[in-house]
Amino acid sequence: MSNNTYGYGSGMSANYTTTAGNGSQSFDKPAPKTAGKPAKDTGPLIRDTSTETFMSDVIEASKTTTILVDFWAPWCGPCKQLMPNLEKAVTEAKGRVKLVKLNIDDHPAIPQQMGIQSVPAVVAFKDGRPVDGFMGAQPMSQIKAFIEKNGSEPEADPIEEACKQADELLKAGNPVEAAQIFGSIMQQDPEYLPAAIGLANCLLANDEVERARALFDRLPEEAHKEKAMAALKARLELAEQSADLGDLGELEAKLQANPEDNQAEFDLAIALNGSNRREEAVDHLIAVIKRDREWNEEAARKQLLQFFESWGVMDKASVYGRRKLSSILFS
């Protein structure tokens, strides 16, 4: 069985090997190209231009991204009012548009050719030609609406796309290939939290609970504010609880010997969840609630809520469990 190591940044690493079927698989094959594709360099979002560079800065550049040209003058009060809002809106658009500023006093030829008679004037260029524009200082809401109308579709981030691909593989029950991609992403960007969370989920999917805990504990404190981290924490705690409970058959036999044993039924529910038998786990916790809703400070109800958090709100077992729980609590 071979090992492969992924760098996580801050000295973090994990050797992850999994056994599937009758043989072993390891994450030492080449990473998919989607994970290694570098982001396209689109250049600065905001720049000044001139008569000499207008062709390259605007006409040629607009063949790949919408270019907004701000025609302005140093003596123009409304220009000074518009420019900060325009720059802010362009920055927040994250690549859907770029802003090119032309001082009409220093470079009068282009605005004269275009018939620009007053400033500020903003013209949107696409595919080498002007397609829309406005004049005068506009409120931020109008500027954003203009960008929304004329902006280009942003180019997909290759790291985000690779992470989505890995998430789909994990959901489809293939943590081996998913972890390969997550690890490749983290080699490129050790601070990319979705990949770290995804890799931890791969470890949990392969019952590598201790390694998942080690990775989780190394993530920065501020990461715990993220919703995905809360779900990972819930899954990790459930996996640790399940690992401490022992053999599933023994728990089932214990409950059969005493069907009214709330603790035995509670423990069996946790163990069943650890074996991905989610709806069965729900049924056993519901049985405890029906017998004694207040048992152990409503432990069964609280455990159900932790299940829902770890599974996700749209998981079919969460939907099933919420329906069962509601029928008891509101009957």
Give the active site residues. 76, 79
Q: Please state, in angstroms and rounded to a whole number, the distance separating the CA atoms of residues 125 and 219.
A: 44
Distances, alpha carbon 11 to alpha carbons 15, 202, 219, 222, 288, in Å: 13, 20, 11, 18, 45
Q: Please state, in angstroms and rounded to a whole number, the distance separating the CA atoms of residues 319 and 198.
A: 23
3-state secondary structure 251-273: HHHHHHHCCCCHHHHHHHHHHHH
Which residue in 217, 263, 219 sits closest to 241, CA to CA? 263
Q: Please state, in angstroms and rounded to a whole number, the distance separating the CA atoms of residues 226 and 209.
A: 21
Residue 316, Cβ neighbours under 10 Å: how many? 10
Which tokens hold the place of 139? Answer: 């409120």
Give the distance from CA 119 to its chain's centroid.
42
Which residue in 15, 10, 16, 17 sits closest to 218, CA to CA? 10
With a CB cutoff of 8 Å and minimum separation 6, the contacts of 263 are 296
Strands 23-26, 129-135: pairing kind: unpaired
